[in-house]
Amino acid sequence: MATSEIAPDVSLVQAYPDAPALRFDNVSVGFEGKDVLENISFEVKRGETRILLGPAGVGKSVLLKLANGLIKPDSGRIYVFGFEITSMREEDLYPLRDCIGMVFQESALFDSLTVRDNVGYRLAEDHLPEDEIDRRVAQALCFVELDHTMDKYPSELSGGMRRRVAIARAIVSRPSLILYDSPTGGLDPITSTTIIELVIKQRDVYKTSSIIVTHRLQDAFMIVSHRFDCNTNKMEPLPPNQTDPQTSFLILHQGRLAFDGSTHDLIHSDDPFLKEYLS
User: Which residues bind to other proteins, rule: CB under 8 A?
Assistant: 65, 68, 70, 90-91, 94-95, 97-98, 100, 102, 104-106, 108-111, 121-122, 125, 169
Residue 147's DSSP bridge partners are: none
Nearest distance from residue 135's CB to other proteins, in Å?
19
3-state secondary structure of 51: strand
Measured CA to CA, the distance from residue 138 to residue 102 in angstroms comes to 19
Nearest distance from residue 245's CB to other proteins, in Å?
29
Nearest distance from residue 61's CB to other proteins, in Å?
10
CB closer to other proteins out of 170 and 220: 170
Count other Cβ atoms within 10 Å, centred on residue 256.
15
CB closer to other proteins out of 65 and 253: 65
Nearest distance from residue 155's CB to other proteins, in Å?
12
CB closer to other proteins out of 179 and 252: 179
Measured CA to CA, the distance from residue 168 to residue 142 in angstroms comes to 9
Q: How far apart are the first and last CA of the chain?
A: 40
State the burial class of residue 270 (Cβ atoms within 10 Å of its Cβ: 0-12, 13-18, 19+).
exposed
CB closer to other proteins out of 111 and 156: 111
Nearest distance from residue 65's CB to other proteins, in Å?
7
CB closer to other proteins out of 90 and 131: 90
**HSE value, Cβ hemisphere, 13 Å, CA-based, for 233:** 4
